[in-house]
Structure 1
Amino acid sequence: MTYPPNVRTAPEHEREQSPVPATVPAPPQRGVLSVTADKVRAAATTEPGRLQIIGAVLALLVVAFGAVTAFEIADRAAAADDVVGRSQPLSADAAAIYRSLADADTAAASGFLAGAQEPRDVHDRYEKDIEEASRLLVKAAANTEASTKSGQEITTLNKELPRYTGLIERARANNRQGLPLGGAYIRYANQRMSKVMLPAAERLYAAETGRLGEDSDSARAWPFFSLGLGVVALAGLVWAQRRNYRRTNRVFNHGLLVATAASTVLLLWLAVGHTVARSELHGADVNGQQSLDVLNRARIDSLKARANENLTLVARGAVLTADGRNDKYETDYSTDMKALGEELGRAGKLADDDQGRGPVAKAVDAVSEWQGRHRTARTADDSGDYEGARTQIIGSKDSTGESFERVDDALKQALAHEQGEFTRAAKDGQGALGGLPTGAAALAALAAVAAIVGVNRRLSEYR
């Protein structure tokens, strides 16, 4: 017979009050970074481990150097491309829109002043200017977002241009019939041009020129981060070779030597290439764009002065200044001619060669001639000789119109020269950055591989 073991069972209330044994806490979980740090510290206690760490750091430095260089120079190269292919052409188109509108207004006033039979060449010039302005507005709209400031100015000009041409056609129709209402239409058209359209065109030009300046500044910004990483990477490679020499008494490690050479080439390419690009783009701005800006404004001033000169005879004193004392168009003519003289003075100072200074000097001489002939015309008009004054203004010989054409031709020549100067310098700056992003990636990869190979050569001595 089997008996149960003699074990005393605790009463129920004693079992409930028995202490529960404490749970042993689990060891804390270690993060990946902590484990990696321990492995690195352990490796650093031996020479092979230290060599592996050095090789990894050197490879990381040269790869970072190449990647950052490729990124920064690609950004600056894109900005340089915008200067050559987008910003400056848009700025030039905006200036051409302004000039075309101002010239159309001048031609319209000249044609009206000629009488019922408008000269064919004057009519063709007006039509050509309107067509050119329309074409450039379409082109500008296609390359500009409607929500931007430039887009808003383009919208304004597109709305106003048909209204302006409609007013001109009404002025012509009345002029052919000998009705005095034509003069009112031509004056109102000029008012819309001078008060609404030309200011909008000027704001468009200012916006596009401002964008050109921003792109030029972006392209010329120093790549400080790339240069700093390059210096650090090169210093690391030199330190590694010096360390190798001190421990092994070997002058060269071929892998580290190749890595150092590749990094040096990249650093020099970066510094020299960007310096050349920066210099050329700066030259394009100073010797090209600044001169273009001044010459564009000078040409616009001459066009506005010519339109006001014509309208002085069209209005015949019917439109006065705000104080009611002087003829408005004659006053505006004087203001425009003063501005023209100032702009030509600045253009002469900015011109850096004889090809740039020559046309400006011709324009200055023609302006002086223009002012002299204008005084003669005003004397005739003030004495009651309207026909003599009109001949002096729009005649084919020894007239202010002839002097105006000389000014305009000289400014065209100067603008063409400065545009060529800008384009050459900007393209040289653009070319100085060409290939650098790709070359940076290739040289950095070569340097990284060479550094690893050089370190592995040392490691093989411990196996």
Structure 2
Amino acid sequence: MSHPPTGGIAPMAAPAPEAPAATAYTSAPPTLSGPPAPPGAPHAAWREALDRLRAAAVTEPGRLRAIGALLAALLVVFGALTAWQVADRSDAAEAVVERSQPLSADAADIYRSLADADTTVASGFLADGPEPRHIRKRYDQDIALASKLLVKAAANSGGSPTARARIDQLNRVLPIYTGLVESARANERQGLPLGGAYLRYANDTMRERLLPAASELYEAQSGQLQADYDDAKAWPWVALGVGALALGALVWAQRRNYRRTNRVFNLGLLAATAATAAVVLWLVVGHSVARAGLSKSDQHAARSLRALSAARIAVLQARGDENLTLVARGAVVVEKGPDRGKDAYEVGYNDRMQALIGASALDSASTSGPDASSSETAVATRDSLLGRADALADNDGGRGPVAEAIDEAWEWQRRHGEARKTDDQGDYEQALAKVTGGKGSTGESFDRVDDALARAIGHEQGEFKRAADDGRGLLNALPIGAAVLAVLGAVGTVLGVGRRLSEYR
């Protein structure tokens, strides 16, 4: 049996396992991240940007960039505010000329047309025989004009609830009135006494329902006119304040530049200052001139128009009362007050004439003889309608027709006193001739007063148009001009600051 050798060669030991080699990293080892940022915290990029801005702000170039950006933004804001506020006032001035004043005039014409229709139809009843064709034609024209103007007012009255309500009331009641007039005419043609009763009922409808509604419509449109005047004349204080701030900031920036560089002028900032000063000056002067023109159109035209319209309406109402005095022949009396028992229409006539020329003038005119000198008697008290219209007229073109109306009102009152005396003596036919006849009648005086006031209104309407157009003219181009100059000022600021920054490169 053989055995393995046991001699001196020891058996080979098993190799020991190798230790793992160190891992080589190609990038930095990851770091542990902190807890997530709370909601709403600024992002790290924003924090970094803010840190850079803070660092830049402590350097002169950074400060210059911030100053330039703020100045440019301020000038743009100034231009935008100026354009907005001036455009708003320009729109209000446009509304005064193109909408509010014409609508106010239309409302006055609605009232006048209705009052004239009522006066005219009463004149037709006083005519001897059938109603004259020219009287019927005038009545039809008055009703047609009132209807046409009501349609126009309804389309342009805007959002005024009062105006819309009064227009609706007029449209509903006007057919009732015209129906009563036609019933009165039909009965009159047949010789029935109901004709006069229907006419008085129609007159009551006119005075108690139509004319009050027309008066409220006129007041509503006049109120809108005054509101547009106030908006158009209001000073643009916000734009002026920002403009003054922009000028102050530009002056401060140039002074700062001078103190740091000893350079007197920076052309960019100088151009921005000139553009801003031009806008401010244009704004102040332009608005002042526009305001003066609008104020003139209001004080010397619009107010005069209101006084003349009120006087013309009083004339028409006085004529209607005068006619109805003869139509009713004492059938309608005052039931209460100091005039109780007196003829209601005669009392109404006296009230209208007192408002027209004044109480003291009315008494003088009633007692003046036919040979009284107009230079001695033809005056109206200052608180009367014609007196106010005369005081508001600012040139001969306006004063002449008003003075003529005052003369004729005196003559009308004198002739009316003679007619009433004749009627009181029982001579109705002669009194009727003194009221409705031709030359020498109160009807002739009424026509002359009405014609003079119509000419005065036409003159003042032209004065209003010219003054208002002059007032709004300078406002039309200012919004665009202000915006352009403000942008140019902002560009000048950026260029001026950029020129200064280039010196640091």
1:115 shift after superposition: 3.6
- Distance in 1, matches of 2:86 and 2:430, equals 65
- Letter of the 2:409 counterpart: V
- Letter of the 1:153 counterpart: R
- Letter of the 1:209 counterpart: S
Cα-to-partner distance string for 1:103-161 (whole Å, 9 max, x where unaligned): 11110000111143212221111111111111101111112358711011011111111
The aligned residue for residue 180 of structure 1 is 193
Cα-to-partner distance string for 1:175-198 (whole Å, 9 max, x where unaligned): 122211111011111110011100
Judge conservation of contact 1:116–1:175 (CA < 8 Å) in 2.
no
The aligned residue for residue 389 of structure 2 is 347
Cα-to-partner distance string for 1:351-383 (whole Å, 9 max, x where unaligned): 111111111111111111000000100011111
1:224 shift after superposition: 0.4
1:44 shift after superposition: 2.3
2:448 maps to 1:377: no
Of 56, 67, 77, which residue of structure 2 is paired with 1:64? 77
The aligned residue for residue 131 of structure 1 is 144
2:213 maps to 1:200: yes
- Distance in 1, matches of 2:71 and 2:251, equals 10
1:227 shift after superposition: 0.3
User: What is the TM-score normalised by the length of structure 2?
Assistant: 0.85
Cα-to-partner distance string for 1:304-335 (whole Å, 9 max, x where unaligned): 00000000000000000023410000000001
**Equivalent residues in 2 for 1:165-176 (5 A)?**
165-176=178-189
1:33 shift after superposition: 8.8
- Distance in 2, matches of 1:112 and 1:366, equals 25
Of 218, 225, 235, which residue of structure 1 is paired with 2:248? 235
**Equivalent residues in 2 for 1:47-86 (5 A)?**
47-86=60-99
3-state SS in 2 of match to 1:325 = coil
- Letter of the 2:261 counterpart: T
1:391 shift after superposition: 0.2
**Worse-matched range after superposition: 161-170 or 296-305:** 161-170
1:36 shift after superposition: 6.7
CA, structure 1 residues 79+38, in 2 after alignment: closer, same or farther (shift >3 Å)? farther
CA, structure 1 residues 392+264, in 2 after alignment: closer, same or farther (shift >3 Å)? same
1:428 shift after superposition: 1.2
2:345 maps to 1:329: yes
- Letter of the 1:333 counterpart: Y
Of 30, 34, 59, which residue of structure 1 is paired with 2:42? 30
2:333 maps to 1:317: no
The aligned residue for residue 295 of structure 2 is 282
- Letter of the 1:30 counterpart: P
3-state SS in 2 of match to 1:435 = helix
When the two chains are superposed, the root-mean-square deviation of aligned CA atoms in Å is 1.8
- Letter of the 1:402 counterpart: E
- Letter of the 1:340 counterpart: L
Judge conservation of contact 1:274–1:433 (CA < 8 Å) in 2.
yes
- Letter of the 1:458 counterpart: R
Judge conservation of contact 1:70–1:438 (CA < 8 Å) in 2.
yes
2:472 maps to 1:430: yes
- Letter of the 2:494 counterpart: I
The aligned residue for residue 405 of structure 2 is 363
**Equivalent residues in 2 for 1:151-170 (5 A)?**
151-170=164-183
2:446 maps to 1:404: yes
- Letter of the 1:437 counterpart: P
Judge conservation of contact 1:97–1:132 (CA < 8 Å) in 2.
yes
Name structure 1 gaps, 5 residues minimum. Answer: 2-22
Of 147, 150, 156, which residue of structure 2 is paired with 1:143? 156
Cα-to-partner distance string for 1:279-307 (whole Å, 9 max, x where unaligned): 11111111111111111000000000000
The aligned residue for residue 258 of structure 1 is 271
**Worse-matched range after superposition: 417-426 or 97-106:** 417-426
2:462 maps to 1:420: yes
- Letter of the 1:376 counterpart: E
Cα-to-partner distance string for 1:72-124 (whole Å, 9 max, x where unaligned): 11111111111111111110100000000001111000011114321222111
3-state SS in 1 of match to 2:439 = coil
The aligned residue for residue 15 of structure 1 is none
1:434 shift after superposition: 0.8
- Distance in 1, matches of 2:325 and 2:53, equals 89
CA, structure 1 residues 191+37, in 2 after alignment: closer, same or farther (shift >3 Å)? farther
- Distance in 1, matches of 2:292 and 2:47, equals 50
CA, structure 1 residues 168+145, in 2 after alignment: closer, same or farther (shift >3 Å)? same
- Distance in 2, matches of 1:208 and 1:359, equals 26
The aligned residue for residue 210 of structure 1 is 223
CA, structure 1 residues 303+442, in 2 after alignment: closer, same or farther (shift >3 Å)? same
CA, structure 1 residues 318+276, in 2 after alignment: closer, same or farther (shift >3 Å)? same
- Distance in 2, matches of 1:213 and 1:166, equals 37
Of 388, 391, 396, which residue of structure 1 is paired with 2:430? 388
3-state SS in 2 of match to 1:448 = helix
Q: Identical aligned pairs, as a percentage?
A: 60
- Distance in 2, matches of 1:421 and 1:147, equals 28
Greater share of residues in helix = 1
CA, structure 1 residues 380+89, in 2 after alignment: closer, same or farther (shift >3 Å)? same
User: What is the TM-score normalised by the length of structure 1?
Assistant: 0.92
- Distance in 2, matches of 1:370 and 1:397, equals 12
- Distance in 2, matches of 1:34 and 1:315, equals 95
